[in-house]
Amino acid sequence: MSFAGFPEAALDFYDDLEIENTKAFWEEHIQTYRTAVAEPMTALTDDLADEFGSAKLFRPYRDVRFSKDKTPYKTHQGAYVAVAPATGYYVQIGAPGVRVGGGIYDVSTDRLAAIRSAIVHERHGAELIEIAETLTSAGWEFGGDRLKTAPRGFPKDHPRIGLLRHKTFTAMRDYGFDEMIHTPELVERIRVDWRETTPLIEWILRHGNDAP
């Protein structure tokens, strides 16, 4: 089945789930989730698999074991194409619409040390700066989790302290309620988007795999 667009029912489903995040609501509307959310997301990622690889749809259930928020269900559906541990391409649908991105969202101590070593390298660090600037100028939100201050072993006035404070590195873009998300056009839009995030992912793969 080719992707035909996310139906309005997908947005309505998550609007309602944010208000009534309960098992009773979920069981009553499970068929809507399947036909308006899960099946279109599967079709979307299948249409992109020829270039980027197979995607994993995240489970809709929240892990509430260590959270004060005990609502049982996620209020969005994400899908992820992994090219390395915690590194790859992302798309999600939720009440705010469609969100697209790429990068690395969870970094081991060794990988982060390798990335920071590359950031302070004259040429490798300059490459990441150029990638971040290119993404930002193209309308991407270049971000990720950050420390509030300098990481241990680096001076607070290091010229690349902004990048060194990162614990993860992501590029994200929102399409919100753009009518395009309800059409097959979304496939090619995301294809272009993921291509734009590929330089960031490739930089991470080159420099973030081995401890220095």
pLDDT for position 211: 43
Total H helices, total E strands in the chain: 8, 6
The CA-based diameter of the chain, rounded to the nearest angstrom, is 57
Predicted pLDDT of residue 143:
96
The CATH class given to the 8-207 domain equals alpha beta
Give Rg (Cα) of the chain: 19
CA–centroid distance for 157 within its chain: 30
Question: Which run of H or E residues covers position 83?
Answer: strand 76-84
pLDDT of residue 212: 40
At 114-145, the pLDDT tens digits run 999 999 999 999 999 999 999 999 999 999 99
pLDDT value at residue 1: 82
**Which pLDDT score is estimated for 210?**
52
Answer whether residue 14 shows pLDDT above 50.
Answer: yes
Record the pTM: 0.94
Q: What percent of the chain has pLDDT over 90?
A: 94
